[in-house]
Amino acid sequence: MTNPSRIDARFAALAAEGRPGLVTFITAGDPDLATSAEILAALPAAGADVIELGMPFTDPMADGPAIQASSLRALNHGMTLAKTLELVRGFRAKDSATPLILMGYYNPIFSFGCERFLEAAAAAGVDGLIVVDLPPEADDELCVPAKAHGISFIRLATPTTDERRLPSVLANTAGFVYYVSIAGITGTAAPDVASVGRAVARIKAHTDLPVAVGFGVKSPEQAAAIGGTADAVVVGSAIVQALTDSLDADLRPTAATLGAVTDLVSRLAAGVRRARAA
């Protein structure tokens, strides 16, 4: 069993520091496997407290254009779920502290085989799973087995998750709760800070788990504002777009690619670090 407390330990450390965390998202294999591994390895030093690694999928229902395109780039370069787990193994061989969460959709996991996937993910050093299209009613499919492998299953709550639905969402959630700050797909609208604050308070009335807020956070200023009430701020589309903007006309990495990502992550990290002082 991999270390089941890596996420808990990181959030406890953040609480002790009195600041929110920065959760960064990239897509595994984007724009290619070697570059993706280089970026993944550089994220903690740039300021990522927790890393979400997207599992490329052809038909994502919650991802906006930037992340959809990143998945297609990765798949066009032959990325697979098995290679995603190899990427995790390579990262974990050099970093034993940073929590790493796989985020994606159920179809590739089901095709891979749930038990085979969980055994491989635990062995590789995966700490958590976010599977967007598996509702609480299907917890026996993957959520409960994941917990048996020491992998936290992180559930999303949204602006439309009401008081009747919230207990079901939280029932088997571990690590943290991911609050989706907008009603829509990733990266398409800016979150309303006041509404997010009220939503975080409402969720915290039901659970002791940390609450991370994502979808729509693009700038250090937004990260600082959201971090005023959230335990962590999740940034995905903006980081993927920074990577995209660094590619050449054939969508291949350039000398600027790594720096484009790490520079933005460093600025976002500075934003969350000043959140509680703002």
SS3 at position 131: strand
Q: What is the mean pLDDT of residues 90-98?
A: 97
Local confidence band at 61 (pLDDT 50, 70, 90 cut-offs):
confident
In the chain, the amino acid numbered 16 is A
Distance CA 197, CA 256 (A): 36
53 strand-pairing partners = 26, 102
> What pLDDT was estimated at residue 1?
43
From 32, 52, 127, 139, the catalytic residue: 52
- Burial class of residue 204 in the structure, from the number of CB atoms within 10 Å of its CB (0-12 exposed, 13-18 middle, 19+ buried): middle
Residue 140: active-site member: no
Residues 242, 247: Cα–Cα separation, whole Å: 9
- Residue 202, SS3 per DSSP: helix
Catalytic residue among 8, 30, 49, 63: 63
The pLDDT of residue 127 is above 90: yes
Q: Encode burial over 34-48: b for 16+ CB neighbours within 10 A, e otherwise.
A: ebbbebbeebbebbb
- 31 preceded by a cis bond (ω within 30 of 0): yes
* Whether this model's pTM surpasses 0.75: yes
User: Domains of the chain (ranges plus CATH)?
Assistant: 20-182+211-274 (3.20.20.70)
Catalytic residue list contains 63: yes
State the pairing for strand pair 152-153/128-131: parallel
pLDDT tens figures, 210-232: 999 998 888 999 999 999 999 99
Token pair of 105 as six digits: 């959709």
Mean pLDDT of the 185-209 span: 83
Give me the phi and psi of 276, to 5 degrees please: -75, -15
Give the span between the Cα atoms of 179 and 45, in whole angstroms.
26
- Amino acid (1-letter code) at residue 197: G
